[in-house]
Amino acid sequence: MMKKITYTIAGLFLLIGTLSVSAQMGMNVQDCTIEYNLFKGEVQSKNFVEAKKRLDNLMSNCPKLSVNIYKLGAKIAEDMIAKGDQAAGVTLMKKTYDQRIIHFPKGLGKVYSDYANFCSENGGAEAEVISLLEKGYKADPTGLSAKNIYKYFDYVLESNKNNNVQRILDTYDDINDALVIKSGKYQQRLSKLLAKEEAGATLGLSVKEAKSKRIASGILKNIGIITGGLDNKIEELLTCDRLVPLYRRDFESNRSNGQWLRRAVSRMFKKGCTEDALYEELVEAYANAEPSAASKIFYATLLEKRGKNAEAIAMRKEAFELETNPTKKSNLLLKDAQELSRKGKRSEARRQANAALKFNPSNGNAYLLIATMYAKSANGCGTSLFSKRMVYVAALNKARRAAVVDPSMASKVRRFTKSYSSNIPTTQDAFAEGYKKGDSYKIGCWIGETVRVQVR
């Protein structure tokens, strides 16, 4: 008896579910599926006239059956445009995008980006293109192509540079924050693959792993290009003379806004505006509004500045223990290393940078920080021309490593490697000291690292 009741209830749920889907689609599931399969066949055989009829039926009566209805519908629209039926083709393409967005609202950053590209290439008004890019930006900035991120950011920049700099900074931060999250994901993937590859695994990387490595490297390079491009566009706005009045004006209304405070503190730290009294006020407000690991690191620097070294050490320790995300913990350690480097405590800074690399081996900025500290120590860590130039070899090695573990830094690292390469020993320098290319050489001073002789 119980089994009969159970089967009856299950059957009712199945019937209700089927009726619900049918109501949503206008045709029953079976008829929709048959129509969809016939539609796919027509598209694959390039019988676009018949396919168009089935497409209209599917979009009207089975709109939620499959996202491929809209992907294949786009092919029909492209064929119409290619054959000279421009107006009808454009109308159909827009309809496929609009209905896809309604019925399959996933990956909308890329969908809107592609939609904007289509409109731009087919006589769409600039306002229409920008509107689509804005929707894509709000859905997922990382889904926009590099070209469209630049296009949208240029629009925001030109529209607001004279009257609303905060809007520009917010847009920049939204894009950058999203890219940081995406970058961290691919850094973690790449670091695992590099570790396996460099460990000398018997069979190396599998075909699937090698492909995954290429994809991760390519995505990280693109992220680096985008962030570098945005930095160049916004550079003239990011001066202490412009930031301090802006943040002073908006501080009171954002005193409890953790996100605003985090971005303001981070930007002032990055741009070297930490000596202004406003910086300390922002850090204190940030620590109160959002008592996170990141805010504690910033607050620790204030404690240290005020001579409260023991409290600063305790605060840093608390921050590192509080953060559980490996990538974020790595970035916290790097921030600490950068602060130590600014104070000239290079050995301690390197120790923290190496600690950062333990949590995220793909933290290229940690390698680059070490490289820059080495280069700055060339004169102090060498007694002869050759020994000083060998310090640049160590710096060059670290800089190159930064680009290997984090391809998003490739363009940024290039100017460092170019500079360091021009300062390594010549063949004559090495010969005069009794060395040749490939020999081991121990660098003295605080660096204390053994490297292979490189010459130019």
Mean pLDDT in the chain? 90
Under 8 Å between Cβ of 255 and 285: yes
**What's the pLDDT at 44?**
95
Tell me, yes or no, whether 170 lies in a domain: yes
Alpha-carbon gap, residue 382 to 361, rounded angstroms: 30
**What's the pLDDT at 18?**
41
Domain that holds residue 445: 362-456
Shared domain check, 82 and 174: no
Shared domain check, 116 and 12: yes
- Indicate the pLDDT class of residue 384, thresholds 50, 70 and 90: very high
Question: Which has more pLDDT, 200 or 319?
Answer: 319
Domain count, the chain: 3
Tell me, yes or no, whether 146 lies in a domain: no
Residue whose C-alpha is closest to residue 405's, from 225, 270, 213? 213
**What's the pLDDT at 9?**
44
Residue whose C-alpha is closest to residue 298's, from 265, 338, 261? 265
Cβ atoms within 10 Å of 270's Cβ, excluding its own: 12
Answer with the one of 184, 203, 237 that is the final residue of a domain.
Answer: 237
Question: Which has more pLDDT, 159 or 15?
Answer: 159
Under 8 Å between Cβ of 54 and 35: yes
Amino acid identity of 28? N
Tell me, yes or no, whether 198 lies in a domain: yes
Tell me, yes or no, whether 308 lies in a domain: no
Alpha-carbon gap, residue 412 to 368, rounded angstroms: 10
- Indicate the pLDDT class of residue 13, thresholds 50, 70 and 90: very low
Contact residues for 92 (Cβ-Cβ < 8 A; gap 6+): 52, 73, 76, 77, 80
The answer to whether residue 23 scores a pLDDT higher than 50 is no
The β-bridge relationship of strands 440-442 and 450-452 is antiparallel
- pLDDT, one tens digit per residue, over 255-305 is 999 999 999 999 999 888 999 999 999 999 999 999 999 999 999 989 988
The answer to whether residue 420 scores a pLDDT higher than 80 is yes
The answer to whether residue 202 scores a pLDDT higher than 60 is no
Question: Which has more pLDDT, 12 or 216?
Answer: 216
pTM value?
0.74
Tell me, yes or no, whether 413 lies in a domain: yes
- Indicate the pLDDT class of residue 198, thresholds 50, 70 and 90: confident
Shared domain check, 371 and 444: yes
Helix (H, G, I), strand (E, B) or coil at 406: coil
Tokens for 388, please give them.
Answer: 């000083």
**What's the pLDDT at 26?**
62
Under 8 Å between Cβ of 70 and 97: yes
Tell me, yes or no, whether 294 lies in a domain: no
- Indicate the pLDDT class of residue 5, thresholds 50, 70 and 90: very low
Amino acid identity of 59? M
**What's the pLDDT at 273?**
93
What average pLDDT does this structure show over 92-108? 97
- pLDDT, one tens digit per residue, over 351-361 is 999 999 999 99
3-state secondary structure 126-183: HHHHHHHHHHHHHHCHHHCCHHHHHHHHHHHHHHHCCCCHHHHHHHHHHHHHHHHHHH
Residues of the chain with pLDDT > 90: what percent?
Answer: 74
Helix (H, G, I), strand (E, B) or coil at 450: strand
**What's the pLDDT at 65?**
96
The answer to whether residue 10 scores a pLDDT higher than 50 is no
**What's the pLDDT at 201?**
57
Shared domain check, 116 and 181: no
Answer with the one of 237, 252, 270 that is the final residue of a domain.
Answer: 237
**What's the pLDDT at 451?**
97
- pLDDT, one tens digit per residue, over 38-93 is 999 999 999 999 999 999 999 999 999 999 999 999 999 999 999 999 999 999 99
Tokens for 190, please give them.
Answer: 């790449």
Residue whose C-alpha is closest to residue 393's, from 432, 361, 430, 363? 430
Tell me, yes or no, whether 177 lies in a domain: yes
Q: Chain-centre distance of CA 376, in angstroms? A: 29
Shared domain check, 6 and 118: yes
201: left (phi over 0), alpha (psi -120 to 50) or beta: beta
C-alpha pair distances (Å), 90 with each of 84, 119, 430, 449? 11, 8, 67, 64
Answer with the one of 184, 204, 237 that is the final residue of a domain.
Answer: 237
Alpha-carbon gap, residue 5 to 375, rounded angstroms: 79
Shared domain check, 202 and 113: no
Contact residues for 420 (Cβ-Cβ < 8 A; gap 6+): 371, 375, 392, 393, 395, 396, 399
Under 8 Å between Cβ of 103 and 32: no
**What's the pLDDT at 203?**
63
Under 8 Å between Cβ of 189 and 212: yes
Minimum mean pLDDT range among 170-174, 230-234, 397-401: 230-234
Shared domain check, 195 and 103: no
**What's the pLDDT at 12?**
41
Alpha-carbon gap, residue 39 to 221, rounded angstroms: 39
Shared domain check, 116 and 9: yes
Residue whose C-alpha is closest to residue 258's, from 293, 286, 300, 298? 286
What length is written for the chain? Answer: 456
The answer to whether residue 368 scores a pLDDT higher than 60 is yes
What average pLDDT does this structure show over 168-187? 90
Helix (H, G, I), strand (E, B) or coil at 374: helix
Tell me, yes or no, whether 368 lies in a domain: yes
Question: Which has more pLDDT, 206 or 366?
Answer: 366
**What's the pLDDT at 278?**
96
